[in-house]
Structure 1
Amino acid sequence: MKLSYKLVIAAFFFTVIGSFIWSANHYYSKYQHEKKRADEAVQNAKSATVITNNVLQSLQIVNTVLEANQYAKQQITLESQRTQEDIKVAVADDDCASRPVPAAAADRLRKYANSLRAYSGGTVASKPDY
């Protein structure tokens, strides 16, 4: 074989090998890019999961606090009703039950009732609830 054929064949093989190397490098670069995108997507998903779990935990805590507050209000209401009944029974046969309550005592009781309402989160009434 002539030297020129050998050079053409060698050039062809070098071109084919060069093409393989370029192609491998090109697709490896694409692979690295896609892998980076996939890793970022996984990280974003993990972050979203953590945030969602924190929000759910916060809501559970708020619900627990609200439930405890509602229970406490119910207990206060029940205790108030029991106290009213006990006072009614205690003064039923007493002559003081038919007399009006002194204005100073009534004002003091209204202030105390308003402070209880304000403490429990209700609105402060300017007039008593009859």
Structure 2
Amino acid sequence: MNRFTAVFGAVVICLIVCLGWLVMHYHSAAAQQETRAETADQQVNTAQAITSNVLSAMTIFNSIAEANQHAKEQIVLDASGAAADIKVAVADDDCTNRPVPAGAVERLQQYANGLRQSSSGAFTGKPDG
């Protein structure tokens, strides 16, 4: 029986060592998987934040573009209305048959060029007057 007890004890010790090794191995693997899962969660959160920021920026850009388009359309309407009003106002006036002074023509052209530049986004920083 003494030999049986020694062999049995050795087998039990071997089983305990093997089980301990398995527990440590799977504990380490579980810790690695947990770290990978946390990293993946962080990457998902970062990607969602970036996507949200891009969508917000696009919404703002589209709003600005739409506002600019409406402003341009309003300027065209105002200009055509002003032109029609001026035509009616000077229809029977003898000033329409006189030439416009060269200085006035040049100043009106400068003003028109300034309007074109400001509507295209260029800013000269110079006053119109």
TM-score (norm 1): 0.89
The match for 2:30 is 31
Please give the alpha-carbon distance, in whole angstroms, between the structure 2 residues aligned to 1:31 and 1:5. 38
Q: Distance in 2 between matches of 1:100 and 1:59?
A: 51
Distance 1:16 1:65 in 2: 73
Cα displacement string for residues 73-110 of structure 1 (whole angstroms, at most 9, x for unaligned residues): 11111111111011000000011112221111111111
1:43 aligned to 2:29? no
Q: How many residues align?
A: 122
1:38 partner amino acid: A
Unaligned runs of 5+ in 1: 124-130
Structure 2 residue ranges without an equivalent (≥5): 123-129
User: Structure 2 vs 1, CA of residues 99 and 122 (structure 1 numbering), >3 Å: closer, same or farther?
Assistant: farther
Residue matched to 1:54: 53
Structure 1's consecutive aligned runs of 4 or more residues displaced over 2 angstroms after TM superposition are none
**CA-based RMSD:** 1.3
TM-score, normalised relative to structure 2: 0.90
Higher relative contact order (CA 8 A, sep 6+): 2
- Pick closer, same or farther for the CA change 1:46–1:122 going to 2, 3 Å: closer
Q: Deviations over 1:29-87 (max 9, x none)?
A: 11111111111111101100100110010011011111111111111111111110110
